[in-house]
């Protein structure tokens, strides 16, 4: 290692400031991976700014310039990592987490996030209603005033003008419809994520 002691305005402190920002912006990744990335970039800066001599502040700044802003560098790691995980895993939570990050990047991401939120909420409410039904007969799909459907868990009062539509059928129908919607939403999300990652991959090297 170079034996120069770091002073306040040393090339090292410029590099460390960059790496600290990078580390901070990578915080959503597992800490092991963050250290691995930061050390790799540190090694890269030392190679490019210190090749054939000591690092000078000017050379460090030039090296950092070629790497681009720490925020942009961290952004490509974080988004890609989250979306890659979401593509492999089927847990709604993982998918929504990744979608939320994507929504911060593009309008298409916002659209996909909204569709997924609606899909999961719709699916989950049917599944929950079906699961509650055996314990609470008031839970069910209620028809109110002859034209409005309302899914109820039977926790509040029974609507006076309504009647329950499905009866015990709520259990199989609710599980099938709710579960199906959740699965379909997941497929939709993964399809959108795949498409987005493909387009991003092309843009990544611009």
Partner 1 sequence: MAIQTIAPPESADKWEVQLRKGCLELAILAALWSDRLYGLEIMRRLAEESGLVVPEGTVYPLLSRLKSEGLLSSEWVEADTGHPRKYYRLTAAGRGRLVEMARFWQNFSASLDDLVAPVRKGVGKEAR
By DSSP bridging, strand 148-152 and strand 162-164 are unpaired
Nearer to partner 1, 77 or 188 (CB): 77
Closest approach, Cβ 50 to partner 1, in A, equals 8
Q: Is 54 left (phi over 0), alpha (psi -120 to 50) or beta?
A: beta
Nearer to partner 1, 50 or 159 (CB): 50
DSSP 206: -
Closest approach, Cβ 69 to partner 1, in A, equals 8
Closest approach, Cβ 202 to partner 1, in A, equals 5
Closest approach, Cβ 51 to partner 1, in A, equals 9
Nearer to partner 1, 1 or 155 (CB): 1
Nearer to partner 1, 29 or 177 (CB): 29
Nearest to 63 by CA among 38, 44, 78, 79: 44
Q: Which residues bind partner 1 (CB under 8 A)?
A: 1-2, 36-37, 39-44, 46-48, 50, 66-68, 72-73, 76-77, 80-81, 84, 201-206
Distance (Å, whole) CA 185 – CA 190: 9
Distance (Å, whole) CA 116 – CA 90: 13
């Amino acid at each position: 290692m170079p034996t120069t002691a770091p002073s306040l305005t040393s090339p090292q402190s410029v590099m460390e400031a960059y790496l600290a920002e990078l580390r901070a912006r990578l915080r959503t990744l597992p800490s092991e991976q963050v250290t691995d990335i930061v050390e790799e970039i540190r090694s890269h800066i030392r190679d490019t700014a210190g090749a054939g001599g000591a690092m000078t502040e000017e050379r460090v700044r030039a090296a950092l310039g070629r790497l681009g802003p720490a925020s942009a560098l961290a952004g490509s790691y974080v988004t890609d990592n989250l979306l890659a995980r979401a593509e492999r895993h089927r847990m709604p939570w993982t998918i929504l987490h990744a979608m939320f990050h994507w929504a911060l990047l593009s309008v298409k991401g916002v659209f996909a996030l909204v569709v997924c939120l609606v899909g999961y909420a719709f699916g989950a409410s049917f599944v929950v209603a079906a699961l509650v039904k055996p314990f609470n007969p008031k839970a069910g799909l209620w028809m109110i005033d002859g034209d409005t459907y309302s899914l109820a868990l039977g926790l509040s009062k029974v609507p006076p003008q309504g009647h329950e539509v499905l009866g015990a059928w709520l259990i199989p129908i609710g599980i099938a419809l709710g579960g199906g919607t959740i699965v379909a939403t997941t497929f939709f999300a993964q399809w959108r994520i795949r498409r987005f990652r493909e387009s991003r991959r092309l843009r990544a090297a611009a």
